[in-house]
Amino acid sequence: MILKRPTLRWWEKTYFPAVAKGMLLTFRHIFRPKVTLQYPEERWALPPRYRGAPILLTGLDGKEKCTSCKLCQFICPPEAIKIVGGETEDEKEKFPREFTIDMGLCIFCGYCQEVCPVEAIWLKDQYELADYDRDALIFPKEKLLKMGRKPPYLPGKEKPLEE
């Protein structure tokens, strides 16, 4: 594209009209509504399928749904998930004796949720996971289950499951 250079009149060549125009613009911006989100007090409305911290879900019987198949552990790209399996008298026969997710390693990719055959692991809307201690970022099973107490959303139906 060829831009034609405008021929300036003498008063335009003094810069003053252009400067005044710019100054007026910036002055008007002073009174515009602010775009800053004052974070700790104000927060974004998260989209319903926001991918935050992965947590563990409980079934209708109040026990964790996980059957310790370790698919999530195998697919996890940064190897943040560690599972120690165990046997149970329940119908599902297997359960995770230990289930830890290192939130310091987790990249919130959501592969674990995608790969889980029983919808036991889910990326929920929690994102404030920072801590001063690295070890405190390794979340044990109990904590993950507690974080998942409120059921998240079903894919397709963007509303909470009944407990």
Partner 1 sequence: MNAMLPILVPALVKIVVILGIVLTGVAYTTLAERKVSAWIQNRYGPNRVGPWGLLQPVADGMKFFFKEDITPAEAYRPLYLLAPLGTLIPALVTFAVIPFGTSMTIAGEAHPLVIAPSMNVGLIYILALSSVGVYGILLAGWSSGNKYSMMGSLRGASQVISYELAMGLALLGIVLATGSFDLSVIVDSQKGGWTSPWFIVPQIIGFVVFTVAIFAETNRLPFDLPEGESEIVGGYHTEYSGLRFAMFFMGEYANMITASALIVVLYLGGWHLPFLDYGWFGPVWGGILSMAVFFGKIALLLFIFIWVRWTLPRFRYDQLMGLGWKRLLPLALVNMVLLATFYLLMGRPS
Binding residues for partner 1, rule: CB under 8 A, are 19, 22-23, 25-27, 29-30, 32-36, 38
> Closest CB to partner 1 among 18 and 84?
18
> Closest CB to partner 1 among 7 and 36?
36
> Closest CB to partner 1 among 3 and 25?
25
Q: Count the neighbouring beta carbons within 10 Å of the beta carbon of residue 123.
A: 21
Name the one residue in this structure whose structure tokens are 């997710």: 101
CB of 156 to partner 1, least distance (A): 39
Residue 77 has which token pair?
């790209």
User: Which among 105, 101, 53 has a CA at the least distance from the CA of 73?
Assistant: 101
CB of 35 to partner 1, least distance (A): 5
Give CA–CA dist 153/41, Å, rounded: 26
Q: Count the neighbouring beta carbons within 10 Å of the beta carbon of residue 126.
A: 15
CB of 15 to partner 1, least distance (A): 9
CB of 4 to partner 1, least distance (A): 22
Under DSSP, is residue 21 helix (H, G, I), strand (E, B) or coil?
helix
Contact of 99 with 121, CB cutoff 8 Å: no
> Closest CB to partner 1 among 40 and 62?
40
